[in-house]
Amino acid sequence: MPGLVEVAYTIGGGVVGAALTNYVAKIQDRRQLRAEVYRHLAKVREISGGVRTVEVGVAPRSSPGGRRRSIAMELGVTALLDGGADGYRALREALADLMTAVLVAGMPRRVADFAGGAHERLLDSTLMVTIDRCLGGVLGADADRLVRATQEYQAAATALLLAVLWHPWRARLRLRHRMSALRIEVESLHRLQQNVLVELTREEHVTVLYEHLDPDGQRRKAWGLEKQGAAS
């Protein structure tokens, strides 16, 4: 019959072994969850900066309810990715997958919101620059400013997401400070994007854009705009 020491050792060894097994399993699960977040983030990044061309889409309309104005909505155009997919539709689907992965991984929703919003703004800016090229470069130096500001904000928002993903406890120490800095940065970017949007939707620029994208006027006729350009 085993003595007390032997019994204690056997029980203790079993408890320690079970705890170690559970710990290793949790670490593996956590790594898998992190890998899923990273995979979906890479997909979002690929889409948001992947606009290759633009074409006439649905009839132009203003953003409802005071929401942030989308240039695709305002001009009635579609941002096309390689292969011809609609960039905004693809991004919405990719962001939904990313948000699901983030929540399953136990990460703060607000951190994911910053990262997702940054990629939405990157897609907007990429489309704006693509349209500017169609117009022959009417934005001038503002095009470079827009690209630089958007990429810097996207990089900062993504860096925060990755910091929380890989070093959650360390990142939480400065989380409030970093989010405050992102809010200031995105306000500045928003003003820049709105100024660019106003410039690109000027009547003379819209007319040139539609003559480039819809030279026979068929789509504008279907919208009831004929050769006028976008509705005021």
Q: What is the pLDDT along the chain (232 residues), one digit of tens a residue?
A: 444 444 444 444 444 444 444 444 454 577 788 888 889 999 999 999 889 999 888 777 766 655 666 788 888 899 999 888 999 999 999 999 999 988 888 888 899 999 999 999 999 999 999 999 999 999 999 999 999 999 999 999 999 999 988 888 888 888 889 999 999 999 999 999 999 999 999 999 998 998 888 888 777 676 766 544 444 4
Q: How many C-beta atoms lie closer than 10 Å to residue 22's C-beta? A: 10
Q: How far is residue 224's CA from residue 228's CA, in Å, rounded to a whole number?
A: 9
pTM assigned to the model:
0.79
Q: Are strands 53-56 and 77-80 parallel, antiparallel or unpaired?
A: antiparallel
| Strand ranges in the chain using DSSP code E only, listed in sequence order | 53-56, 77-80
Q: How far is residue 205's CA from residue 199's CA, in Å, rounded to a whole number?
A: 8
Residue with tokens 């489309």: 127
- Pull the structure tokens for residue 98: 């990313």
- Pull the structure tokens for residue 21: 């097994």
